[in-house]
Chains A and B, each alone.
Chain A
Amino acid sequence: MEMHPLWMLVDPYIIWFYRLTGYAFADFLLGTFVLAWIALLVGEFTISMVFLVSKQRIDASTEESRHYQDLSAEALSAGDKEAYRAANKLANDAFGKSFFMQIALSAAFLWPVFVALAWMNQRFAELEFPLIFTDYALGCVGVFIVLYVAAYLIFKKIKYKLPYFRWIKTILDSYQSGPVEAKSFTDGLPAVRKDEKR
């Protein structure tokens, strides 16, 4: 199948990582792991940018939902069923708004994954790794997903040791009103108050 012009441009660079050891299987795993890291880092970078730009809007959107959720709990503990139902309804409406905003913002984290998968599909679509004791085989997409999750778990541990992400965290910590936990996967999304973490 003819190669997409975008791949003509980046393919020589990415494929370099697939030729490091000379052993086909090891090269495939190593190259895919590097690709997973690139996708992860680019995603983390773009969502951190989106977060910086939209932080105030995101906060305003989630604050309303949080306010009515708190209120419904207060009403419940005070035994006021009518106020509970009213606050619950308003919390539901506000949650809908912030939820959909977050759905859209999550795209900033995910897009590099799909670009990486598209390149892999172009290069390794025919590749299959049979799963022992089953009739199934893991394709290149499956291998990428497994290695991407591994890369994510490692990155989670070292994220704030990297100067850029430490800098982002400092900025976010400095201008928000309340204490915020900002870490991992959904960093670009409304953060959770420390008092809410269990």
Chain B
Amino acid sequence: MTKKYWIIVGLVAAVAVITTLMLASPAAAGKLEEAIAKTPQGVGKGMIDSKAAPGFMGIPGAPSPFWLFGILWGIWVGWIFSTVGAFGGIMAGVGHITVFGLADYGRSFKDTSPVLNKLLTDSIRTSNQYLVGLSAFISSLTYYRMGRLVLPLGLCLAGGGIAGAYLIPVLTAGKINLSQYIGFFGIIVLVIGCFLFYETTEAGQKSKKAAKAAAAAFESEHIKRAAGEVTEHGAAGVQVTHWGASKISFTFYGVEFSFAPIWPILGGFVIAAISAFIGVGGGFLYVPFLTSIAGLPMYVVAGTSAMAVLVSMITSIFTFMFIKGTPIDFLFIGVELVGIFIGSILGPYTSKYIPDRWLKRIFVVLAVYVGVGYTTKGFLGYSIFPGM
């Protein structure tokens, strides 16, 4: 990784922060205290009993999950991350929404204290983003260090990402109530469940088998290098040949790739917006977008998407945390992170006993349960499945 790349990333990140500062209004200090003060005092539903023991975020009477449960849930999330993938982020959200009882607690203030209700919504999704997104940012650095970057593509993605990651928190923080958030969360879970399901079907397996066969055929025919020999590829293979408002072209190993800048800008915007709204990192969406939809080589996609994750995460967390003043229970996130890395160590050791296809099928069932449960709870007011 050269200094030039770091300077560019630094500049883009600085632009993200400055734009946020220029466009936003200052955070109201002590938002949580204000919201608590405006909430009816008492022991009934939708009230705060100031004499009760402090729970989540120090709110008197709020759920106070035992720290060990945070670690145990984190282990579950980490295990899923290292075996199934994206579904780990979903499970991090399920933990905050259902397992630790924050959603039901927040929903109790729907009529008595809408401000507190929405503040809890923002806190839940920011907590998800810290838990998943920040780790995605760290791991993205590994790929970014590889230096395989198509700079104009990264800038287009990052530009769209800044807009999406900034606008969604600004437009929705303090406005989305818990029911709406849970409903949309449920829909996203269902979509991810559909993808997982497709991968386990004959059609999904067939296309993977065909790809493996084609790759193996090419390998045996053309690649005759000695075992352990390393072939030099990399950024030297990327040459940007044309910069323009309507078309940007680059060559990779002599083959020309071109794209209209509007598509990565739009893609970056939509992905960053979804990530900020639900509270995830977005890394899992950038790469398929660039390889499957844009048809770009994986060799340059990883580093390029890493730049976009980096920038959108800085913007999104900065906006939620500093501009909108969303309160966060840092200690609980720290405890969950301990569980996540323990789970990620255990995952590879245990998953070898469960076939990948069956593992995915189990999570399809879980995705349907959580997705339908949250969608109905969010939009109908009750979950058709128990325990949600």
| Chain A residues at the B interface, C-beta cutoff of 8 Å | 1-2, 4, 6, 46-47, 50, 53-54, 57, 61, 68-80, 82-93, 95-97, 99-115, 117-118, 121, 126, 128, 134-137, 139, 141-142, 177-178, 185-186, 189-190, 192-193, 195-198
Contact = CB atoms under 8 A, between A and B. Distances in A.
- Identify whether the interface residues of A are mostly helix, strand, loop, or mixed: helix
A100 B348 contact: no
28 contacts: A46-B341, A53-B345, A68-B298, A70-B231, A70-B233, A71-B218, A74-B223, A83-B215, A83-B218, A85-B211, A87-B215, A90-B215, A101-B82, A102-B138, A103-B81, A103-B281, A104-B82, A104-B340, A106-B135, A106-B138, A107-B74, A107-B344, A110-B337, A111-B334, A115-B331, A117-B330, A192-B145, A198-B1
Contacts of A113: 334
A94 B231 CA distance: 19
A193 B345 CA distance: 23
B337 A107 contact: yes
B54 A2 contact: yes
Nearest to A2: B54
B139 A103 contact: yes
Nearest to B234: A196
B138 A110 contact: yes
- Taking each of B142, B223, B302, which has the highest tally of chain A beta carbons within 10 Å of its own beta carbon? B142
Contacts of A69: 233, 297-299, 302
Contacts of A104: 77-78, 81-82, 88, 135, 340-341, 343-344, 347
A80 to B, nearest CB: 6
A115 to B, nearest CB: 4
B340 A186 contact: no
A77 B253 contact: yes
Given A110-B134, A112-B334, 6 more contacts: A69-B302, A73-B233, A105-B341, A107-B78, A111-B334, A196-B234
Interface stretch (B109-117, B166-174, B268-276, B283-291): B283-291
B283 to A, nearest CB: 6
A77 B254 contact: yes
B297 A84 contact: yes
A134 B27 CA distance: 13
Contact of A110 (B135, B142, B283): B135
Contacts of B231: 70, 74
A186 B144 CA distance: 11
Given A100-B85, A114-B334, A118-B330, A92 B214 contact: no
A71 B219 contact: yes
Contacts of B335: 111
A61 B356 CA distance: 14
